[in-house]
Structures are given as C-alpha cells and as structure tokens.
C-alpha cells in the first residue's frame, strides 16, 4: 500500500470561462499566486493550461515558456504542462508544448468523445508525443479517459519503451461525458488493468464534476493518488460554487490525512515519478 498521497492541482483547464467562474486563475500572476497557496497546503504537482489576454485558452510558445520559468522561480512544484490544450488545437501546437521545457507533460492515450466535442488523439500522434518526451527528458503523465486507453498504453510501452525516468504514472480521468464513469466499479476495473503495465506503475484519479468525491475516496482506498482543481470541478457542493483551487486542495489533503496517507512533499513526489 502506498504510504503517501501525490496531490496534483489542475487550476485552470481550457473549458470554463472566466466570466462564468470568477475564481479561475487566468493571468500569470493569478496562476503563480494559486500555485504558491496550493503548494503550501500540500500539492506537489501543478497541471497547467494557460490563457491569453482575453482569458481564452492558448498554447502560445512564449507564454508557455514564461509560465514554466515563473512557476520554477516562485515555487518548488513539479510543473506539468497539458499537451491536450483545447479540443480545437492542432497537433503541431500540442507537440510544441514540449519546447517550453516542463518537468512533466500529459499524454492522452486515445480519442474520446468530450461532451458534444471530440478530443482527437490519433495513434501516430500519441507515439510522436511519447517519443519526443523520451528525447526531451520530459516525464509523461498518461491520461486515461476510458479502459481501452490502458490497453493502448500497454501497446505503446511494449513497442517504444519506458518513458524518461523509467517510471509509469497514469491519471484516470473519470466522469467526462463520453468517457468512463466516475464510479468505484469503473475505478476498480481500471486498477485491475494496471497489473498489465510495468511493475511499480502508479496512478492518480480525477473525478470530473459531481464525481469528484466518489473518485477521490475510491482512489485513496485502492492506493491511488489525487488530482483536483477548477479544471475538473467548479461546484464544491450542491448549489455552492468553488471559491478557489485552495479549497479543493485543502479538501483533498484532509481526505488523504484521514486515510493515513499524508501528502507527499515535492521531493518525495519527484522521487516517486522518476524526476
């Protein structure tokens, strides 16, 4: 059983609008302030999407480099950039995210219906992303939206080798309309499939929207880790909007402590992830 809990905060995402979610950090100053406060509470990884001057999702290379540099200078958090971007971003822009030199980056293991949209991840694109991360020394977090994505990951590692650092870490993204449900049986099914991956593989779980709490508890009880943040949920409880990312991190830390699996420090997290 894992003795500590890796807590990742995903503070912004690419779906919510600032006008609808005022607590969303969209400027660099807002993101840096959020990062510092979440680190102080117990987060060790920050999963980053950025916005432009109009608070729209962007993969602008200069802004990405500036963001990575600011987070490195202002925190000790592991900086993980999203290569998913928004569902409309082209593959070339998503691959270019790696040029910003993050510690980690996401690697989504297949296409999934994403509400009314399609989040397209062709096999050739996934292979390109995986091998470029190996060459660039960037540690991937393999995003899993459905059980078939775990089979695809097994195929990827078998054909193209382990990621940089040698450790395999996945994030089970649950509760997206079109993906696997955010339920305990679905999480248990995914955990059983992890046995087919290299020994020592670890996982985090993300419960989108109202699935946040069930997924959080199921992940802790099966030895998994946690990802929380305004990217994934904007309602703290029925009829109660999330006030800040810190509120979500604090709740995750509280559950982890109740499970007698306190948050990992950033140093412990780096050791776990092979950084």
Helices marked H in the chain — which ranges?
28-41, 61-74, 91-96, 123-136, 147-160, 184-193, 212-221, 245-258, 266-273
Half-sphere exposure for 163 (CA within 13 Å, toward CB)? 28
pLDDT at 142: 98
Neighbours of 186 (CB within 10 A): 22
pLDDT at 199: 94
Bridge partner residues of 7 (DSSP): 226
Total residues found in the chain within this entry: 275
Q: Is 128:118 a contact under the CB 8 Å cutoff? A: no
CA 133 to chain centroid:
16
Q: What is the mean pLDDT of each run of 10 residues along the chain (275 residues)?
A: 87 92 96 98 98 95 97 98 90 96 97 90 97 97 97 97 97 96 97 95 96 97 97 94 97 97 97 95
pLDDT at 2: 59
Q: Is 137:168 a contact under the CB 8 Å cutoff? A: no
- The DSSP letter of residue 211 is G
Q: Alpha-carbon distance 41 to 38, whole Å?
A: 5
pLDDT at 3: 83
């Amino acid at each position: 059983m894992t003795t500590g809990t890796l807590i990742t905060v995903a503070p912004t995402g690419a779906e919510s609008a600032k006008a609808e979610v005022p607590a969303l950090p969209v400027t660099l100053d807002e993101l840096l302030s959020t990062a510092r406060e979440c680190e102080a509470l117990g987060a060790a990884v920050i999963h980053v999407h950025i916005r432009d001057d109009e608070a729209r999702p962007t993969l602008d290379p200069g802004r990405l480099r500036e963001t990575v540099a600011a987070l490195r200078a202002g925190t000790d958090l592991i900086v993980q950039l999203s290569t998913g971007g928004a569902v409309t971003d082209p593959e070339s822009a998503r691959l270019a995210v790696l040029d910003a030199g993050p510690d980690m980056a996401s690697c989504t293991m297949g296409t999934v219906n994403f509400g009314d949209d399609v989040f397209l991840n062709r096999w050739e694109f996934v292979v390109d992303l995986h091998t470029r991360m190996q060459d660039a020394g960037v540690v991937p977090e393999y995003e899993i939206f459905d059980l078939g994505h775990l089979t695809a990951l097994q195929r990827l590692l078998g054909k193209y080798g382990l990621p940089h650092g040698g450790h395999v870490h996945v994030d089970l993204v649950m509760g997206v309309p079109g993906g696997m449900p955010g339920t305990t049986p679905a999480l248990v099914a995914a955990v059983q499939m992890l046995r087919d991956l290299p020994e020592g593989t670890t996982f985090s779980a993300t419960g989108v929207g109202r699935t946040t709490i069930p997924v959080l508890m199921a992940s802790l009880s099966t030895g998994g880790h946690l990802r929380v943040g305004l990217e994934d949920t904007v309602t703290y409880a029925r009829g109660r909007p999330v006030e800040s990312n810190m509120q979500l991190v604090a709740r995750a830390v509280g559950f982890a402590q109740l499970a007698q699996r306190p948050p990992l420090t950033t140093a412990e997290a780096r050791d776990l992830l092979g950084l």
